[in-house]
Amino acid sequence: MSPIADANPTTPVKKQSSSKKKTHSAKKAAVKNKVTAPKALQSASSEDVHYLEWKEVQDFIEQMQTQYQFDKAQLSAIFAKTRYVESVVQLIKPMPAGKPKNWKVYRARFVENARIDAGVAFWERNAETLNRAETLYGVPAEIIVGLIGVETIYGKNTGNFRAIDALTTLAFSYPETPTKEARMAFFRKELSELLLWTRESAIDVFNVKGSYAGALGLAQFMPSSLRQYAVDFDNDGKINLKESEADAIGSVAHYLVTHGWKKGLPYAFPASLSSEKIDEKHLSAALNQGLKASYTLDELRPLVSTPDENAPRNIKYGLIDLQNGENPTEYWLGTDNFFAITQYNRSYFYAMSVIDLGKVISLARKKSE
């Protein structure tokens, strides 16, 4: 998102009183690498957690030394200063079940005046770069502008968490959820990618700040995406997604085209149910076909149709549902380009917000000319 993590929850080792330090040190020397974390986090603060003393962290350091030739002493020094962040754990927890999803409420958070104004200004000062990215990668400027706007309001909100703290917390102290083991494996991979990237770039890892999930820069790339898909689009010899708007623009376009974006293909078309007596199993199967375009218009006709005569008949679509709380659900037909955006964030709401924000900014920019 990957060795499976220890099945037992990892927790911090509490600080010892000064009278017990000597005994504690002797015990630690005796067990050596058998040190592990207690079974449950008990409202720990950053001062309570000593990640370097955790067996899981020691194993991770050994793996980084063996697989990537990291210096063990340097990594030990890093994890000795790395902090557990309780707010990261709280922020990563899934939303409580039961509250209905509401597309209109979600959209209003992103397609709003301040973000639109900032998007117009961003487009104006980067018009040439956006044109170059569109020419090179085939991704329209409005999609790039929409995505960066949704992610960080054009650099206004890139995150203030130390990435090493956030990723270590999630890699070793992930909250209890059904997907805990898979998520810990994912964040351990991202932690290793962060360490590799800072070593390659000669950057102090403690100076790298991002979101609570470890996403970085204007485009909020995870470290693995940064290493694999980020590009030096301003040609200054380095990649800087934090301060270079050009690098962010080029990197977003490169990411999307690598994940299936097709030049000239539309994004999505509105749709409506073909009748009130729809086969619910058939509808559910179409809605759960995955993040891909799998059906022709003819195959979808028993379920939905689109009033848009511009919808091409020679391509495939995926059926999208945008739930509106207690109000009727909106249905759309998404193309491969819609689903390329979902590879950035696996959410229909997210992808449609990127599209809508970009379109609104494009219209606002034209009106201001």
Q: Which residues are catalytic?
A: 151
**Cα-Cα end-to-end distance for the chain:** 43
How far is the C-alpha of 248 from the C-alpha of 230, rounded, in Å? 8
Q: How many separate helices (H) and strands (E) can be counted in the chain?
A: 16, 6
What is the spatial distance between Cα 347 and Cα 109, in angstroms, rounded to a whole number? Answer: 15
Q: What are the φ and ψ backbone dihedral angles of 221, each rounded to 5 degrees?
A: -75, 135
The alpha-helical segments, DSSP class H, found in the chain are: 21-31, 55-68, 72-81, 86-92, 103-110, 113-125, 127-137, 141-152, 163-172, 180-200, 223-229, 245-258, 280-287, 297-300, 336-342, 348-368
| Interatomic CA distance for residues 300 and 285, integer angstroms | 11
Place of tokens 């009106």: 367
Q: What is the DSSP letter of 298?
A: H
Cβ proximity of 13 and 37 under 8 Å: yes
| Residue 24, C-beta contacts closer than 8 angstroms, at least 6 positions apart | 16
CB 274 within 8 A of CB 305: yes
